[in-house]
Structure 1
Amino acid sequence: MMTKIILDCDPGHDDALAMMMAIASPKIDLAAVTTSAGNQTPDKTLNNAMRMLTLMKHEEIPVAGGNHTPLVKPLETAGNVHGKSGLDGAELPDPDFKPQNMTAIELMAKTIQESNEKVTLVVTGPMTNAAIFLRVYPELTNKIERIVFMGGAMGLGNWTPSVEFNIFVDPEAAKIVLNAGIPLTMAPLNVTHKAQILKDEIKKVDEINNPVAHAFYGLLNFFEIYHEAPKWGFKGAPLHDPCTLAWLIDPSMFESKLMNVDVETQGELTTGETVCDYYELTGKPQNTDVLLGIDRPKFIKLIMDSLRTFD
């Protein structure tokens, strides 16, 4: 049975790879793509989503842009990681179709209202759109099967000492989503930093003879450069966002633990920290299935097999 999803993303190299996996998988029905501001500015992330869909020849998938700023704080982007365009490293086609004449949350609502089955919301950027959707359309929350998101960390952060970038950008939105009472699956840095693609594996991407794989070879080469800084201790590039799709396609490749997760929004040093109650100290409901381990070879094989499906 296929899982119908809406992908809310901020492309971004790893968002683009997650989108590719969603399109390639026979287990996923990608019903809509919405974009948020995060890895780059809102105009660039919307354009990047459409460039990727044009490259993959799936212009039939509806796309809409979302909120231009976080709920409370000013927007901060990650151009130092993803480059000036947000998808530096490859020559991508200009979009040959138009976005929907509606906002991201309106497209979410339309897609969910018209669906005969529950829809899974996959969030690979800041949670601004998801939070606004839940506030504006509370009557539709019972038609959301689950929210699967890349974000957060149990311990070490990648933007401030204990805070991951997606949650850092809009902690107030993340707090709304995490406390909405909807089943949650979280792919934190604890698992995504294990989901690395190594340099020799990136070279093998270019051996897959289709335009989509060749584009991702360039994208992954660029993305890997940032992660060569010795402070990270990486052997390759961590593929954060694809962990969400990999879990939906084959959850058996992950180890996880159900726990309560909430978001700090007031801390002087910790605003945006995901507070994970691993030892059940708070007595709060276990609202989130937190991914902690991954079968990396199986994960890389899934990515390679997905890339091979394109002409």
Structure 2
Amino acid sequence: MHVVTGGAGFVGSNLARSLIAQGADDVLIVDDLRDGHKFRNIADLPILDYMDRAEFLQRVETDAAFVQSMSAILHQGACSTTTEWDGKYMMENNYSYSKTLLHRCLEFGVPLIYASSAAVYGDATEFTESPGNERPLNVYGYSKLLFDQYVRRLSLTDQQQVVGLRYFNVYGPREQHKGAMASVAYHFNQQLKDDHEVRLFEGCDGYDDGEQQRDFVYVDDISALNLWFLQHRNVSGVFNAGTGRAQSFNDVAKAVIKWHGRGRIRYVAFPEHLKGAYQSYTQADLTALRAAGCDVEFRDVAHGVRDYLDALAT
């Protein structure tokens, strides 16, 4: 049984879709559907079963046979709202929950591949998986970093696999439920359809208007990366998950405008509440990932946005 936590969410539902496309008929989706809109992400997927996150944790803690029935846990479930400042809530969801899964996976030799985040780097300018570069700007980033640090202290046997993937700016289908936390590609597309314009932030941190840069990575490539590790169970560690190429918000806007064949860019004032808590530049260093033997390729913004909008149009 392949378990995908957060499986009704953005990355999780795409990952479940990829598993099923490769022939998996035993995908268990774990999530919290208090936001019932997320059902749309899994309505078209022939999954084995669905389980609430609280029930799943209880089963993992108390039912050894249940854990032993798992081929792997692909742990995508988390509170991913970077503007959430309830630290107790964040640590319970992103740290304590993950530790419980980790220890049961280690006990029974179940591979655990989990979602970390580039938010661990905060205002760093170097993005190698090194403690010297890790200085998160919000409690979300800290919750992810703390679990990475916990994993780093493990001494794994040959029968144990634990992989943390530090997702950079992921975009693609099945993210519409995320609202304000959906990707800029999603928001730019909506803005252009509604108002015939795309709105970008004015310059900040020394960057010109719309020239803040992020490592934007297409969700299908993130799914392919997870599946690569699932197929290479001798590889463990914490790795960056991005394209290795920083591109500007202007690049994303122009790709959206090009796909539609119309529209313009308008720059708006940089929000006060984001000052001091905003990453103006990210670029995944893929040295460790490539050294581990991973050959997954990542598409650039021009191709990724095209594929995204093609998918939305079908």
Q: Comparing both structures, which one devotes a greater share of its residues to helix?
A: 2
Tell me which interval the TM-score lies in, with the shorter structure as reference length. Answer: 0.3 to 0.5
Q: Which of 1 and 2 has higher RCO (CA within 8 Å, sep 6+)?
A: 1
Task: Work out which of the two has the higher radius of gyration on C-alpha atoms and give 1 or 2.
Answer: 2
| TM-score with structure 1 setting the length | 0.45
